[in-house]
Every structure is written in structure tokens, then in C-alpha cells.
């Protein structure tokens, strides 16, 4: 799961917690010290691996950059040819 605006989520969560604590205090009739619950997050090793992979993918590698530039040059010069059998095979693989 990706949260794009974590700051907004944090504010909303804090607001909910504050409202809940106020409601609980008013139900019991006590305005004593409010204890905030402690939140914790534990990520599995698979999730940590995915995060590492995602960070690595955000940085373009030298090989990939070189290959993209090579393909751009071929397209600009009209030398790039498409293999229709390969394209059709890839389309069928995606559909299945």
C-alpha cells in the first residue's frame, strides 16, 4: 500500500484519536490525564524487500539509459524495425 500524502493521514488520525479520548473522558465523567495509545508498525521482510526494489527502480541504471538512447537513435533514423511475431506473442502472453 502506498500513501501519497502521509502528512494528511497523520493529521486525520491525530484528530480521530483526540476526539475518541475526549468522548471516553466525558463518558466516565473524569477529566484526568489522557493516555495516548502507542502505535507501532512492523514490516515483513517481503515488504522491506519490495521497498528496496522500488527505490532501486526509481534510479535509472546506466545499462537501461544506454539501451533507451540506442533505441531512440534507431527510431529517429528510421532504422528501428518491429518484429510482428514477437509483439503478437507478447500480447497473447499478457491476455492469458
Q: Cell 540506442 maps to which residue?
A: 70
Tens of pLDDT, residue by residue over 36-94, are: 888 887 878 888 888 888 887 877 778 888 999 999 999 999 999 999 999 999 999 99
Predicted local confidence at residue 71, as pLDDT = 94
Alpha-carbon distance of 52 to 2, in angstroms, equals 14
Predicted local confidence at residue 58, as pLDDT = 78
Alpha-carbon distance of 87 to 68, in angstroms, equals 18
Cβ neighbors of 34 (< 8 A, separation 6 or more) are 21, 25
Tens of pLDDT, residue by residue over 9-45, are: 566 566 655 555 555 555 555 544 567 888 887 878 8
- Output the nine-digit C-alpha cell for 75: 527510431
Amino acid at each position: 500500500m502506498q500513501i501519497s500524502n502521509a502528512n494528511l493521514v497523520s493529521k486525520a488520525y491525530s484528530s480521530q484519536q483526540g476526539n475518541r479520548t475526549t468522548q471516553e473522558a466525558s463518558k466516565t465523567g473524569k477529566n484526568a490525564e489522557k493516555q495516548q495509545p502507542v502505535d507501532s508498525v512492523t514490516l515483513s521482510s517481503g515488504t522491506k524487500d519490495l521497498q528496496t526494489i522500488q527505490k532501486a527502480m526509481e534510479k535509472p541504471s546506466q545499462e537501461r539509459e544506454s539501451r533507451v538512447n540506442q533505441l531512440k537513435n534507431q527510431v529517429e533514423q528510421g532504422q528501428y524495425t518491429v518484429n510482428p511475431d514477437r509483439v503478437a506473442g507478447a500480447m497473447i502472453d499478457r491476455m492469458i
